Amino acid sequence: MSSKITAALFGLLAAGPIAAAQVAVKAETIHTVSGPVIKDGVVVVTDGKIAAVGPAAEVSIPAGHEVLEAKVLVPGFVDVRATVGLTGIYNGDDQAHDQDMLERSAPIQPGLRAIDAYNPREELLEYIRSFGVTTIHTGHAPGPLVSGQTMIAKTRTTTLADAVMKPFFGVAATLSPKAQSGAGAPGTRGKTYAMLREALIGAEAYKAKLESYDGEGAPPARDLAKEALVAVLNGEAPLIVTANQAQDIASALRLQEEFSVKVWLDMAAEVYTLMDEVKAAGSPVLIHPTTYRAYSETKNLSFTTAAKLAEAGVPFAIQTGYEAYVPKVRVLVFEAAIAAAHGLGFERTLESITLSPAKLLGIADRVGSIEVGKDGDLALFNGDPFEYTTHCTGVVIEGEVASRAVR
């Protein structure tokens, strides 16, 4: 009994604001991403922030800092699109109670907030963190036409308030046959697109009502779903559109033109067929996990698409996304590795899971590279992080050693 109470108290303590530990990491190679590679270097993290970076000969480690060692040190990874935290480790089973990423009760539900479903103690978070992921853009999964909102969080096991960086980031929509399932769902592509236009036109009318309200009489009744779409119309939140086949990608771009919203392309298996159009539209691509199953609407995905996006100069980042039955695509560095080996190369691949997603998500002032003043988010490896047979040997989040597992 008493041990239970102690455990509960400890849990409460651990869940409170983290007293940032003081940590320094000595590494044979430091990939800062934003600057040159440093050999035999040191990174000092003080009070949660990076206080110093440089060659060991030039950077002294202040007293009271725990010293970790690594062969290769990289910034903590940023997963540009996941569902972890809403999706739990059990997955897709009748008995599971940790599957909050798909709400099929209606086709269009932009009012669903990600923070109301995010479990910062989810075991799956601990697992992906042990492979170097320190920041995730997560939320409602692709599937329903408009499935809900997304958020950005650190992968720490802590309270929601402490983990969250942005409680509302974007609205997730799906333009694919996957949207043709669930109550009230469209039955064809034409209907799918028509319903999405209707929703946005409805939100435009709501926005006009809000803007024309002059304070006289009752204000327009609140509409949580339309409020989220107004944020999209105002350009405050991107509309993250899952589209894989060429015609669906083209539809997503058409949406951007009609409503002047920020359309982000999610998955985009056949994006290589429309590279010029995507580049002209300025839409970033959250490219599918490299090892996603090549069947049905993703049948034509390619291991080389990330490299082609890089060549074309289209802003992109690699994601883990969402795979349902027996999901494999949960470890970001594994997905990146296949892209690295198929034309993207080491440097660009590393950037695509660190600084590029941080810039896209508007959090590059805090994460994505090893620079003085940024959060102390680091991933330690005992060799090339992309090699099959090397290990992630430690993870630091805001100065706290968040994983000591050898993965």
Partner 1 sequence: MSHSRLSMPRVLFGVAAALLFLSPIVGAQTTAITGGTLLPIDAPAIEGGVMLVEGGKITAIGAADAVKVPAGAVVVDATGKVVMPGLVDTHSHIGGIGAADSSGPLQPGVRVYDSINVRSSGFRRALAGGLTSLNIMPGSGHLSSGQTVYVKLRYGDSTPRTIDAITYRFPDGAPMGGLKMANGTNSIRNEGKGGFPGTRGKSAFLVRSLFIQAQEYRAKIERAVDEDGNPDESKLPDRNLHLETLLEVLDGKRIVHHHTHRHDDILTVLRLAEEFGFRVVLHHVSEGWRVADEIAAAKVPCSAILVDSPGGKLEALNLVMECGGILEKAGVRTAFHTDDWITDSRLFFRSAALAVRAGMTRQGALESLTLAGAEMMDLQDRVGSLTPGKDADFIILSGDPLSVYTRVEETWVEGEKVFDLSDPKDQLYAEGGYGAGEEISPYFCCYDHLMKKEAN
- The smaller minimum CB distance to partner 1, of residues 20 and 89, is found at 89
Q: Is 270 in the site for partner 1 (CB under 8 A)?
A: yes
Please give the Cα distance from 199 to 159 (Å, whole number).
34
CB of 273 to partner 1, least distance (A): 7
- The smaller minimum CB distance to partner 1, of residues 331 and 364, is found at 331
Structure tokens belonging to residue 326:
């027996």
Q: Is 106 in the site for partner 1 (CB under 8 A)?
A: no
| Cβ neighbours, 10 Å, residue 211 | 10
User: Residues 319-358 vs partner 1: string with x where CB under 8 A?
Assistant: -----xxxxxxxx--x--xx-xxx----------------
Please give the Cα distance from 115 to 138 (Å, whole number).
10
Beta-bridged to residue 152, according to DSSP, are 137, 166
Q: Is 82 in the site for partner 1 (CB under 8 A)?
A: no
Q: Is 276 in the site for partner 1 (CB under 8 A)?
A: no
DSSP assignment of 158-197: S-HHHHEEES---EEEE-SGGGS-STT--SSHHHHHHHHH
Q: Is 120 in the site for partner 1 (CB under 8 A)?
A: no
- The smaller minimum CB distance to partner 1, of residues 16 and 345, is found at 345
The window from 11-19, 110-118, 220-228, 266-274 that contacts partner 1 (CB under 8 A) reads 266-274
Q: Is 360 in the site for partner 1 (CB under 8 A)?
A: no
Burial string for 304-331 (b: 16+ CB within 10 Å, else e) reads bbbbbbbeeebbbbbbbbbbeeebebbb
Containing 45, the helix (H) or strand (E) segment is strand 38-46
- DSSP letter at 20 equals P
Q: Is 95 in the site for partner 1 (CB under 8 A)?
A: yes
CB of 110 to partner 1, least distance (A): 18
Contact residues toward partner 1 (CB under 8 A) are 88-96, 99, 102, 123-124, 127-128, 143, 177-182, 270, 272-273, 291, 293-305, 324-331, 334, 337-338, 340-342, 386-391
